[in-house]
Structure 1
Amino acid sequence: MSPRRAAPIEVIERLRAAGCVFAEDEARLLTAAAGTPAELEQLLGLRESGLPLEQVLGWVEFCGLRITVRPGVFVPRRRTGLLVKRAARLIRPGSVVVDMCCGTGAVGAALLAGEPELTLYAVDIDPAATACARENLAPRGGTALTGDLFAPLPRALLGRIDAIVANAPYVPTDAIARMPPEARLHEARVALDGGPDGLEVQRRLVAAAPEWLAPGGQLLVETSSSQAPQTLAIFARHGLTARVVHSRKLDATVVIGATALIGARSA
């Protein structure tokens, strides 16, 4: 079916009753995805049960790409496009890039779409996430690895990575209960929980990053606007010259830090 085909009004009404804010758009997508009325009923039932639309469809649009999404895997948000945009400015053909805490691998896939000549690794502690990331990255030449932060990376990459991009979990533990049910009930807690202040994973990531980065290498970490000053301080504590970038349009915040160039005087 064409994705522009109008959805039946009863589908829209059922989605509205289920609390879907963008019922018309969702109805159109579900109708387009269903090959038969029975398939539409199945998809609609999953959505009414609270399953995220992206997991019902099996994909999400991200930075102009259709990214595969599997059950339980963190769904990439539109705001993470800022992380992609800023990283894309820093890479070139032949750059070695790591998509850390990769989830679906959406960030890495978007970077490879813009620069196919990257050497790209994606890492996540959740095997379900890396299985999904392989689906999105393997056709583009990326590699997905399962493990805790830098642990699964080849040791040969020490001091050779040009850019690390990370949408590490940054939701404070107590705040997870206030998240929309689509996230807190259907996405892996390990992809959301950043510890008591939301910064535990960031601390570990930033502490380990300098030895993996090449001279002048860049670390880019998504965070919240309220947490940005603390994230900036973590970067400084580990010798990275850092700045905060914010997009009002995307409601997104990224902290970008660089290691010193060989022979350069410290800032």
Structure 2
Amino acid sequence: MGASTPLKTCPLTTDIYNELSCATEALYLFVVDKLRAAGCVYAEEEARLLVSSVPMAALHDSVQQRVSGTPLEYVLGWAEFLGHRIALDEGVFIPRRRSEFLASQAIDLLRPGGVLLDLCCGSGALAVVIAASFAADEAVTVWASDIDTNAVRCATKNLASLGGLVVQGDLYEALPVDLKGRVHVIVSNAPYVPTLEIELLPREARLYEPHRSFAGGPDGLSVQRRVAREAPAWLARGGSLLMETSEAAADCTKAIIEAAGLAARVVRSETWDATVVIGTRVGGDGVP
């Protein structure tokens, strides 16, 4: 099929996909055209992922899903995160690339044989990439917690090969009591979008992802306050709490962590357009 063939006039049918499957570039251009017409900003990149990752028998339905607005990660069944493919079920928060900065900071702080806790874990993406950065003979102990049933199910699948333990509950409530005072790093991408700003999120996030994953209360900091307040009881001496936040709210998040009794600092990455506040337990036994 030559370059001058008017692909965009072809009807979107399974037969067309079968016809074009023998010419990969033509098939790619056909999918690009469909995605671009639907308003996909990254049509070329998404088309290459769909054509290379989705079996031909399912490609028609997958493109239709994407054209209808379903997030690409749900269509593919996975999200790329810091070099790893994280299995992703519909209705589970999609890990954002900016959160790779949070993961990288945690990797720098966690030591071989340490204990990691991922709060509001979603798919478990943070815990996966952090734990996977350690060799088998330096393996860390991984715990993860989320209040959502779908998220717990998804994180359990992703962490199974790493020996991670996932519990369902509101923040710390489902964790074993004997874990108190023994956690070396807590990572938390807790919701931090003010409730009234949920409607300003991109359409895909508003329509397909659980609002609970975004809503941080009236000022966006309600869940962060709860995470920080209990963190000292769970952290080992010298352990750290790392929370992603917005650049605008960084000082407020820092103040929240300091109010909990941790020494806090803000770190920022322009590359990832990400902001993380790190609070470290520097003294006291941390256990009520």
Report TM bin, short chain: over 0.9
Amino acid at match of 2:231: A
Q: Please report the RMSD computed on the Cα atoms of aligned residues, expressed in angstroms.
A: 1.6
**Residue 28 in 1 paired to residue 28 in 2?**
no
**Residue 206 in 1 paired to residue 206 in 2?**
no
Check conservation: 1:30, 1:40, Cα contact below 8 A: yes
Give the Cα–Cα distance (whole angstroms) in 2 for the partners of residues 49 and 82 of structure 1: 31
TM-score, normalization: structure 2? 0.87
Check conservation: 2:115, 2:141, Cα contact below 8 A: yes
**Residue 190 in 1 paired to residue 212 in 2?**
yes
Q: Which residue of 2 aligns with 1:69?
A: 88
Q: Which residue of 2 aligns with 1:97?
A: 116
Q: Where does the alignment leave 5 or more consecutive residues of structure 2 unmatched?
A: 1-20
Go from structure 1 to structure 2 and tell me whether the alpha carbon gap of 1:87 and 1:59 turns closer, same or farther (over 3 Å shift). same
Check conservation: 1:7, 1:28, Cα contact below 8 A: no
Structure 2 SS opposite 1:26: helix
Q: Which residue of 2 aligns with 1:170?
A: 192
Q: Which residue of 1 aligns with 2:269?
A: 247
For residues 237-257 of structure 1, the C-alpha deviation after alignment (integer angstroms, 9 at most, x for no partner) is: 111100000000100000000
Check conservation: 1:97, 1:163, Cα contact below 8 A: yes
Name which of 147, 152, 155 aligns with 2:177: 155
Q: Which residue of 1 aligns with 2:6?
A: none
Runs of 4+ with >6 A deviation: none
Go from structure 1 to structure 2 and tell me whether the alpha carbon gap of 1:261 and 1:237 turns closer, same or farther (over 3 Å shift). closer
Shift of 1:106: 0.4
Amino acid at match of 1:74: F
Name which of 26, 30, 50 aligns with 1:10: 30
Give the Cα–Cα distance (whole angstroms) in 2 for the partners of residues 221 and 200 of structure 1: 13
Shift of 1:29: 1.1
Q: Which residue of 1 aligns with 2:18?
A: none
Give the Cα–Cα distance (whole angstroms) in 2 for the partners of residues 6 and 119 of structure 1: 48
Q: Where does the alignment leave 5 or more consecutive residues of structure 1 unmatched?
A: none
Shift of 1:7: 4.1
For residues 128-179 of structure 1, the C-alpha deviation after alignment (integer angstroms, 9 at most, x for no partner) is: 0010001110111111111100001110011111110000000111111011
Check conservation: 2:54, 2:76, Cα contact below 8 A: no
Name which of 79, 84, 95 aligns with 2:103: 84
Check conservation: 2:195, 2:220, Cα contact below 8 A: yes
Check conservation: 2:145, 2:152, Cα contact below 8 A: yes
Give the Cα–Cα distance (whole angstroms) in 1 for the partners of residues 94 and 55 of structure 2: 24
**Residue 126 in 1 paired to residue 148 in 2?**
yes
Give the Cα–Cα distance (whole angstroms) in 2 for the partners of residues 54 and 6 of structure 1: 24
For residues 172-191 of structure 1, the C-alpha deviation after alignment (integer angstroms, 9 at most, x for no partner) is: 11111011111111111111
Check conservation: 1:5, 1:32, Cα contact below 8 A: no
For residues 38-91 of structure 1, the C-alpha deviation after alignment (integer angstroms, 9 at most, x for no partner) is: 411100111011110000000111011010010010010110011111111111
**Total equivalences in the alignment:** 260
Amino acid at match of 1:102: C
Go from structure 1 to structure 2 and tell me whether the alpha carbon gap of 1:11 and 1:162 turns closer, same or farther (over 3 Å shift). same
Structure 2 SS opposite 1:78: coil
Shift of 1:25: 1.0
Q: Which residue of 2 aligns with 1:236?
A: 258
Shift of 1:34: 2.8
Give the Cα–Cα distance (whole angstroms) in 2 for the partners of residues 206 and 7 of structure 1: 50
Structure 1 SS opposite 2:98: helix
Structure 1 SS opposite 2:185: strand
